[in-house]
Structure 1
Amino acid sequence: MTTINLTVNGKQLSATAEPRTHLADYLRDCHNLTGTHIGCEHGVCGACTLLVDGVPTRSCITFAVTCEHAHVTTIEGLDDDEIATELRAAFKREHALQCGYCTPGMMVSARDVVLRMESPSEHDIRVAMSGNLCRCTGYVGIVRAVQSVIEARRKRGAGAIPDGNRKLLGPAGSGHSSAVAANGAKPRETSATKAAASVAAAPARADANWTPQTTFVQSFTVEHPVDQVWEFFGRIGEVATCLPGASLDGEPVDGHAEGRIKVKVGPISAEFQGVADVSRDDATRTGTISGAGKDQRSNSATRGLIGYAVKQGDRPEQTRVDVTVGFTLTGMLAQFSRSGLVQDIANRLIAAFVQNLEAKLSAGEGAARAVAAEFDAGSLFTSVIIGRIKALFASVFRRR
């Protein structure tokens, strides 16, 4: 059993349920909110539709546990809602309900149409409401009711809200959608929305309690004096251009940088947008980079901590750089984070970085800043696998 905490119809509610419990069952069985009706239990009929963070959601196919800390509005929570009040009167006037079983979900979807669509035609309303099935009315009264409310509100100057204030993609309740409360106002931020926003806006502060999933240590040398290399590492924008796929959104401010890195793994093309905080110690020639990023398309997120030390090499004109990398990768791309493959990929990525670094140092500050290409991890994985197969065959034939 899992404790699930939700804000339902403006009240904070908590109850225990099995992780497999759907949101509709959770609301009906745990909180006696039986206005949400369950029909097909396949997300087809629309009878169970309610609002999760302001977005119409099929509660029969949404796990309650995935909506932790979300704002849920059921049909009971729309009693005092302006649009819902007008729709109830219109439904009664246009004879838009008979048995009433589909009505709760129909009302929620109709409210969303009134909220989003400026001046829809009858066809537009039928398409928008096609996800809600009715076995009684033939839909004529329902369409007339919705259309009459829209026309009345537009005449009063109550315009539509484009896309219902939805600015981000993502599953309802996951913190990626733009929330709209039942009264049309934006509700307070939940922990999920704050976490999503922190990737794009907040500094990537170091957390002593954070433990990376994968850690590896790597060293490389460059044929340039240590003072020159250390000074170059202080120019964050220049360093970023040496990393394939990386770019910054403007110049860093007080060691804080915002940017992105493009990664391609087979058919998956991701663009991690994130932030990083950079600190340096001139006395010891060491530095740290703490960063976090998120790819909206694959819903993958990463967090990492890089520590580096710039040291004198074996020769006066040579510099050694020791790098320690720790990171955590979640989401669709996490399947590619196995430590053995990551180490091989890191070796190739660092080799490309060193090659670009050498070119930059040799050309000096006047060198043109070439746009870094997308990091194609797919081709690197292929080379890694081919290399391992060759090594396997070599070891077999050596035994013979």
Structure 2
Amino acid sequence: MNSIALNVNRRAVEVLAEPRTSLADFVRDKLDLTGTHLGCEHGVCGACTVLLDGVPARSCITYAVACEGADITTIEGLDEDEVTVELRAAFTREHALQCGYCTPGMLVSARDLVLRLPDADERRIRVGLSGNLCRCTGYVGIVRAVQSVIETRRARNIAPQPGGGRTILGPAGSGWAAPGGNEQPLRPVRQEFAAASDGIAPAVIPDFTPATVLEQRFTLPYAPAKVFAMFDDIAGIAACLPGVSLTAPPSRERVEGAIRVRLGPIAAVFEGAARVERDPAKLSGRIVGIGTDRRSRSATQGEIRYRLLPIDDGTATAVELSIGYALTGMLAQVGRPGLVRDLARRLVADFADNLDRHMSGASPGQLAPAELSGWSIVSDILRARVARFFGRRGEPG
């Protein structure tokens, strides 16, 4: 088994895999990114096409170990990509998909054509897509979809990128084949890698750009200075967070622990570490963390930014929270945004209640539940709907 470290969908991962493991099997079986499809497994059909250092490449005939340090983008990593969003709309409009099996690889290749081609030349588009086979559509809708996106973008004065942004010679996705025979390879920027398989966080907690940000607010009947002092009690704050437990004595530089979450039938325990930043002058702070769940092979990065505002002539505090996160692996596929938002709201509500009890002198046994559960959210929604139903029944006609 080899430890393979690379960047997948803008997140650093390090996973054990056999040297013979293909990149397609690596992203599907190790990272649960099953949007990459396997067809012929001979590099012919193109269903497994991903971006390797920004270049379309066949992941079924590429060894994962050969991609050490490379940047991999699967179809899941293109959810917010501008060109891919336009292509998806065009594929729908032009009826460019039927069974959809070839579509992820087709979109990756089509995106490259949209970036590179100066105009919507049908012949060049057909040649460019000749490595992606479709058994359903006859390609007419696919070609029209790609043409329409190219025409629209050129009409908006978005110029083509020579080589699709390729600046390095060498095979697709090599990432460090230097031009002119330079002996010093051009390597991509490396990050601190999070171990996605063993739950151990890196020595340095890296910064990141959240994929999703949620804003929350609650109030406490205590002065801002008292609340800010409470936020400096890391162990006390951890005791107020549902599902959170510490696994080592905490410090601002490093807090090691775990959080238990249940999404329907799936239970996860994210083990990792965080760092704490505070700004006394602005009564604000930031907590940045990273963790992995061994069972589902899911990984997450998150940050909580908080700001304390005085209300009621300074006798109470409004706590403004900004919760940002990025999630990969199986839970990223079942953790829909609406469910995650509801979980975040429940977490903040329970945290506020627990914090109020803690500051009033309640015992630890009266605080957070053992884990944060999506089932409790469902039951709350059902209770609220039943209450509204009977409330309407009781209203005079």
Q: What's the TM-score once normalised by structure 2's chain length?
A: 0.49
- The structure number with the bigger radius of gyration is 1
